[in-house]
Structure 1
């Protein structure tokens, strides 16, 4: 088994807010991130797949196809969007880095032919990222 990682980038805005809490509690817990107008990040996504190297192509997965899947399933949906308002999976889920990683996994799982999705890593900032390895990890 060998692992291959592909990167993609997208820019999105979001805010942190629990609708069951008061304004004061949201601000206490989330600080400036509770502002309903949101704030933005330039996210970096790393998707790692695993599999056997095809002896004919030398690839675990067709790199062009993997790039197209990331573009279709993630970048075209998340890029230049306000996650809370424009991306359905965050209508009732706070779009933290952790929840974004889980949502991306769910978008990609089972859609990459001849390879197993192993890890989704989402960088919100260069020094802040979340890894998700699926439900069974």
Structure 2
């Protein structure tokens, strides 16, 4: 069975390699969907408590919310811009050098939360069974644009 928990965060980014308006600074109301799958635990009746999913995902959401996603240096139309950040952790939510497309963001998020979800992170008695794992992660940057990363794709491309 599969469970999905949804999260929301606000963040800006710039895509300097994009030929259109996305090459300029802009922001989104991002919506992240995290799905886990596994058998129903016969003792508890749960696959996993939704609160246990949040124990893994919410620290990441706090790291990204109201932050800038991506790199400091951008090359736009042969002009070099440098954004001075006095306190990186308060402004930038992703690692230096990260190119913040929705696709790249999903891969990065999977790496951040996957270990916690796969290790059977448990904060309640309704935690996961040994075979519970994340199955897919999707992100919406607008109400009409969504990217999806499946566990199968992630595992197949990590090697």
Query: Could you state the TM-score of these two structures normalised by the residue count of structure 2?
Result: 0.71
Classify the secondary structure of the residue corresponding to 1:65: helix
Query: Which structure 2 residues correspond to residues 4-83 of structure 1 after superposition, within 5 A?
Result: 4-17=3-16, 26=17, 29-35=18-24, 38-72=25-59, 74-83=60-69
Quote the residue 1:21 is aligned against. none
Secondary structure, aligned partner of 1:99: helix
| Greater Cα radius of gyration, structure 1 or 2 | 2
Structure 1 residue 58: Cα displacement: 1.3
Q: What is the distance in 1 between the residues matched to 2:10 and 2:94? A: 17
Query: Which residue, 102, 106, 109 being the options, matches 2:111?
Result: 106
Q: CA deviation at 1:93?
A: 2.7
Instruction: Tell me how far 1:32 sits from its aligned partner.
Output: 1.9
SS of corresponding position for 2:112: helix
Kindly indicate whether residue 146 of structure 2 is the aligned counterpart of residue 132 of structure 1: no
Cα shift at 1:84:
1.8
Deviation at 1:92, TM superposition (A): 1.6
SS of the residue corresponding to residue 136 of structure 1 reads helix
Q: Does residue 87 in structure 1 map to residue 93 in structure 2?
A: yes
Q: What is the aligned partner in structure 1 of residue 76 from structure 2?
A: none
Q: Cα 1:116–1:11, aligned 2, differ >3 Å: closer, same or farther?
A: same
Paired residues, number? 122
Distance 2:19 2:63 in 1: 25
Separation in 1, partners of 2:43, 2:104: 38
Whose helix fraction is larger, Structure 1's or Structure 2's? 1
Unaligned runs of 5+ in 1: 18-25
Provide the secondary structure at the position in 2 that maps to 1:8: strand
Residue 111 of structure 1 and its aligned partner are, at CA, apart by: 0.5
Point out the more displaced range, 107-116 or 121-130.
107-116
